[in-house]
Amino acid sequence: MTLHKGGTERARERRPHPVNPFYGEADPVAGMETAPPRYTLPEGPISPHNAYQFVHDELMLDGNARLNLATFVTTWMEPQADVLMTECRDKNMIDKDEYPRTAELERRCVAMLANLWHAPDPAAAMGCSTTGSSEACMLAGMALKRRWARRNHDRYPGTARPNLVMGANVQVCWEKFCNFWEVEARQVPMEGDRFHLDADSAAALCDENTIGVIAVLGSTFDGSYEPVAEICAALDALQERTGLDVPVHVDGASGGMIAPFLDPDLQWDFRLPRVASINTSGHKYGLVYPGVGWALWRNQDTLPEELVFRVNYLGGDMPTFALNFSRPGAQVAAQYYTFLRLGREGFRAVQQATRDVACSMAEQIGALGDFRLLTQGDQLPVFAFTTADHVTSFDVFDVSRRMKERGWLIPAYTFPPNRQDLSVLRVVCRNGFSLDLADNFVADLEQLLTELRRQSAPLGRPENVATAFHH
């Protein structure tokens, strides 16, 4: 979470300020006269009604999630899912003994994913729920590192320093993993029109200290799928040449729940023998509210036993693999709900509708003439675009800032090495973002363009431009 520095109230805020007389419950005149302090624990209690109203009013200023084209995370679920999540909000995932049925639903979700991702022996696949893909990636990275350390116990700890090979377009969780677990991040830069990892560069960066290669399905920068099968083939060739056997982890945070339904012939999962583990975010295209991810390993060999902890379960013990201990069970129940509710055909229909919206929107934006599409929304339902070469009066940052005036959140950011010269806008389509909303977006953009074209020059990019929009 954001690492906050302690705050104090500014002088203006410290003065007791009056509050709405209606906050005096039954008697507006005898009600509270000053608002409670904001950065110190209030001296005494207030009524639940007032506490609710304060928090509620403050949160009104948050954005409208449905108009947010920046995030991959689910912003709408059916009312039945809300009910189910409310019913489960007091359940702690780790109390397997107290909540054996929640544990069972988690097990079923893992089994369904193992089957969906073509584990050769679904019964032998291992997996768990997590708080999201980031935690899942930490776990998968730890398993890769431990397996490598075992194979190299004569050199590590000691002289060898482990490394992990990835594209410069990876999500920030992989930089975190490398930082936290002291692994060198070997990143393949973008070159020209190649905006993600390619097979030859990946294999070229591998050596005897490589714990694995991360292949992303798909990239958060532009929604493109990395060529997982080609990467595996290049590593097969490397093994033939050198004997190095480098496993692949697929970061399927988004694509793990898109490709199985929309691109069934694409070979990216456990069908490729080199793929040791896969993660996905249940709260992205798994269609569940924030707080759930999944990590799966091909079999027991790919998940070292010594990383597994055991918790009490109905008098026996149950293996667990997690960074957290306590965690809400509601998201896991909601994930099982979406699996049960939609089935394969339902998922296919939902994801296809989302991809249709993305493709249609990309096409319309391309047709405006002011932009150049980098991707078309036909892999992840996500696309990136930049201003066309002839456009000199405005830039992507102007578009992002001005669209916010109309309520649309669309991030602008620069690409990582070696394409820091390229700044883009990115649209993430999700279930709930309808064709109607997409048409409204394009209409608003078109109207804005008549103003932007009249600018004499871009109005200046913000000073601290993010080099990666990491949602």
Ligand X SMILES: *Cc1c(COP(=O)(O)O)cnc(C)c1O
Residues forming contacts to ligand X in the complex (CB under 6 A) are 72, 132-134, 137, 171, 173, 216, 220, 251, 253-254, 281, 293
Q: Give the shortest CB-12-to-ligand X separation in angstroms.
A: 37
Q: Give the shortest CB-257-to-ligand X separation in angstroms.
A: 11
Q: Give the shortest CB-218-to-ligand X separation in angstroms.
A: 7
- Stated length of the chain: 471
> Are the C-beta atoms of 386 and 228 separated by less than 8 Å?
no
Q: Give the shortest CB-323-to-ligand X separation in angstroms.
A: 12
| Distance, CA of 425 to CA of 385 (rounded, Å) | 5
Cβ closer to ligand X: 209 or 224?
A: 224
DSSP 438-462: HHHHHHHHHHHHHHHTT-SS-----
Q: Write down the residue that tokens 């066309």 correspond to.
A: 388
> Are the C-beta atoms of 9 and 37 separated by less than 8 Å?
yes
Cβ closer to ligand X: 218 or 247?
A: 218
Cβ closer to ligand X: 96 or 186?
A: 186
Cis peptide upstream of residue 324 (ω within 30 degrees of 0) = no
DSSP 306-352: GG-EEEEETTEEEEE--S-SS-BSHHHHHHHHHHHHHHHHHHHHHHH
Q: Give the shortest CB-48-to-ligand X separation in angstroms.
A: 32
Cβ closer to ligand X: 162 or 223?
A: 223
Q: Give the shortest CB-214-to-ligand X separation in angstroms.
A: 9
Cβ closer to ligand X: 187 or 220?
A: 220
Cβ closer to ligand X: 134 or 387?
A: 134
Contacts of 196 (CB under 8 A, 6+ apart): 167, 169, 190, 216, 218, 219, 221, 222, 224, 226
Cα separation values, 249 from 27, 138, 231, 272, 376, Å: 62, 11, 11, 11, 26
Cβ closer to ligand X: 114 or 215?
A: 215
> Are the C-beta atoms of 347 and 144 separated by less than 8 Å?
no
| Distance, CA of 458 to CA of 400 (rounded, Å) | 12
Cβ closer to ligand X: 247 or 252?
A: 252
Q: Give the shortest CB-35-to-ligand X separation in angstroms.
A: 35
DSSP 382-409: EEEEEE-TT--S--HHHHHHHHHHTT-B
> Are the C-beta atoms of 190 and 417 separated by less than 8 Å?
yes
Cβ closer to ligand X: 88 or 258?
A: 258
Cβ closer to ligand X: 285 or 339?
A: 285
219, 172, 124, 185: which is closest to 426 by C-alpha?
A: 219
| Distance, CA of 173 to CA of 344 (rounded, Å) | 29
Q: Give the shortest CB-283-to-ligand X separation in angstroms.
A: 6
Q: Give the shortest CB-229-to-ligand X separation in angstroms.
A: 18
| Distance, CA of 132 to CA of 292 (rounded, Å) | 5
| Distance, CA of 404 to CA of 197 (rounded, Å) | 32
Q: Give the shortest CB-36-to-ligand X separation in angstroms.
A: 33
